[in-house]
Amino acid sequence: MAILCYHSVACGWDDPVSVEPEDFERQCRRLARSGRVVPLSAMLDRLESGREIPARRTVLTFDDGFADYAHFAVPIMRRYGLPAAMYLVAGSLTPEGVPVNWITGLPAEQAPPLLTVEEIKDLRAQGWEFGSHTMRHADLRTLGEEECYRDLKESREIISDLLSESCDVLAYPFGRHSEHVRRAARKAGYRIALALPEEPEERGPFAVSRTGIYRGNGGLTFEAKINPAYAAVRRLRQRLAA
């Protein structure tokens, strides 16, 4: 199974994490033809238990909660009948808010807007899934285990309260985690946590691998990334380079 990770779908934002809408539409058209895109919730029990995942399924996920998700990505996915899940920085949903200071080379005051509480509620009512991307998008490896636990517990509670349902899935900021981060995620009540591996790492329900889709990924690159063999080849290359 390929779990794809997007961040932004927007016009003219020249950043690696931002995919142009026309490129995203081509990718969605390709995925719709396969007829094998499923919501993450349909795979949650298997991912949590470690049971075998049906081959050639694809899941779409989005990190950060940028408002362009509602303006560009959702209408395109709706046209092609594709489900997706978005992982929210929960601190942005509080009255105090949080600075969007995690984008490399971009001052927080110039960062794109995030989804509002009203937009999130409306999207959830339409069937789009949501989960946690922590309180303020910190690299969790830099936090002590207790601080990490408090962050993950609070973000889970905020999103659960907002949506009136259990928030069961965590996406690690930057895709990064460590043993103490995984322990904290389990203790905070999540069922699984999603990563973006940059190096060889332990696999399991709290290190579920995803594949990043970035600006400029052309047709051949996209085809490679949705191939079930891609993750296995990536893991092999990471081990050989380690």
Q: Which residues pair with 92 in a beta bridge?
A: none
| Chain segment 226-240, per-residue pLDDT in tens | 997 887 777 666 555
Cα 86 to Cα 4, 21, 62, 161, 185, distances in angstroms? 12, 17, 5, 16, 18
| Chain segment 130-153, per-residue pLDDT in tens | 999 999 999 999 999 999 999 999
Round to whole Å and give the CA distance between 64 and 171. Answer: 9
Q: Which residue has the tokens 């995919």?
A: 19
Identify the pLDDT of residue 202: 74
Round to whole Å and give the CA distance between 87 and 192. Answer: 13
The stretches in the chain having pLDDT less than 70 are 200-201, 235-242
Say which residues have a Cβ less than 8 Å from residue 241's Cβ, sequence separation at least 6.
none
Identify the pLDDT of residue 234: 72
| Chain segment 96-110, per-residue pLDDT in tens | 999 999 999 999 999
Fold classified for 2-241: TIM Barrel (3.20.20)
Question: For 174, left (φ over 0), alpha (ψ -120 to 50), or beta?
Answer: left
The backbone torsions φ and ψ at residue 53, rounded to the nearest 5 degrees and listed phi first, read -95, 135
* Beta-strand runs (E) in the chain: 2-6, 8-9, 18-19, 58-64, 85-88, 129-132, 169-171, 192-194, 211-212
Dihedral sign, Cα of residue 224, residue 229, residue 231, residue 233: negative
Round to whole Å and give the CA distance between 125 and 72. Answer: 18
User: Using an 8 Å Cβ cutoff, are 173 and 140 in contact?
Assistant: yes
| Chain segment 152-166, per-residue pLDDT in tens | 999 999 999 999 999
